[in-house]
Amino acid sequence: MLDNVVGVYHFLADRAPQNLPVVAPKPSKISPWRKDGKAIVAKVKAGENVKASIEGAISLLGGIGQVIHSGDKVMVKPNFNSPDPFPASTDLTFLRAVIELLKETVARVTIGESAGGMWRPTRTVYRKLGLYDFARERGVDLIAFDDPTTEWVKVKINGDFLEAVTMPRPAYEAEKLIYLPCMKTHNLAGFSGALKLAFGFVHPGERRGFHISHLQQKLAEVNLSWQPDLIIMDGRKAFVSGGPDKGELAEPGVILASGDPVATDAEAVKIILSYRGNNKLPADPWRLPQLVIALKHRLGASEGNYIVVE
């Protein structure tokens, strides 16, 4: 009960800091994993050995060594919007496998996230999920972006719906970014995948106001701040209606990997549409407002300009 009261307080009272340093967006990234000039989305059937399945997907791309090198400062962005079980939140078995793969490259790993809505502060979600012990046992740093010690910057993106967004300095300064989205529908945003995952970087006090209008368009434009180096989407289970915290469950049993957030999300939406869920997704994934705006800003590959390898 106390957590709920605290959550409501944060939801209503959080305000984005003022007079922040204004910075330029990070340079746009083009996925290094390409074939015949087209971006690649790897799609594998997940087996009992999750780490082997993830390795298989990355191997189909061409190997993690193309983007992650020894000593790189890597920010891993999971989905811990709430403390609800996978696929509402990132599965810890999945996260552990990714961390192990990164540690093998001798990268310096930080896990960073900010919970949503009335589940804040993020440290409450971390505590309920056991993330503090998880990170300590694996020798990685863990950041809750909404903690008072976090420094923020204002990224000037000059989008059609957003001029600037308030983002955490640790994420802005990370040398490499890895996204671990779940595969799920979302009651407000329609779909939550790679593009939506970036919304968790936005300062909570600013994020709330974005929901008033054109949410999907705004969450797509947040990605103008930077793009991930690698996306590994856990589609072993998925919400095909409802979401983000609870929904109708399906089990596609797949893992997607790519350097292209638009192509990844398009493939994920196709998978969700193969089930008879009562959701707000258009029959044609390319009409999803998130993807429409992302393509307008050249944030990923359009229909016919990426390849799925299995």
Q: Which residues contact residue 223 at a Cβ distance below 8 angstroms, ignoring those fewer than 6 apart? A: 195, 198, 261, 294, 297, 299
Tens of pLDDT along 66-118? 999 999 999 999 999 999 999 999 999 999 999 999 999 999 999 999 998 78
Sign of the alpha-carbon torsion through 102, 104, 109, 112: positive
**Given its phi and psi angles, is residue 64 left (phi above 0), alpha (psi -120 to 50 degrees) or beta?**
alpha
Largest Cα–Cα distance of the chain, in whole Å?
56
Q: How would residue 12 be classed by pLDDT, with cut points 50, 70 and 90?
A: low
168-191: average pLDDT:
96
Across the beta sheet with 152-156, the strand order is 22-23, 152-156, 164-168
Q: Is the pLDDT of residue 8 over 70?
A: no
DSSP reduced 3-state for 119: helix
DSSP 65: G
DSSP string, 149-210: T--EEEEE---SS-SEEEEEHHHHT-SEEEE--EEEEETTTEEESHHHHGGGGS-HHHHHHH
Instruction: Give CA–CA dist 239/278, Å, rounded.
Output: 10
Instruction: Give CA–CA dist 222/239, Å, rounded.
Output: 24
pLDDT at 174: 96
pLDDT at 29: 83
Q: Is the pLDDT of residue 5 over 50?
A: no
230-243: average pLDDT:
97
Q: How would residue 13 be classed by pLDDT, with cut points 50, 70 and 90?
A: low
Amino acid at 297: H
Q: How would residue 127 be classed by pLDDT, with cut points 50, 70 and 90?
A: very high
Cβ neighbourhood burial of 179 (10 Å; 0-12, 13-18, 19+): buried
Tens of pLDDT along 33-45? 999 999 999 999 9
Instruction: Give CA–CA dist 105/229, Å, rounded.
Output: 15
Q: Is the pLDDT of residue 270 over 90?
A: yes
Q: How would residue 9 be classed by pLDDT, with cut points 50, 70 and 90?
A: very low
CATH of domain 23-309: 3.40.50.11440
Q: Is the pLDDT of residue 59 over 90?
A: yes
Q: Are strands 34-35 and 38-45 parallel, antiparallel or unpaired?
A: antiparallel
pTM flag (> 0.85): yes
183 neighbors 259 (Cβ within 8 angstroms)? no
287-303: average pLDDT:
97
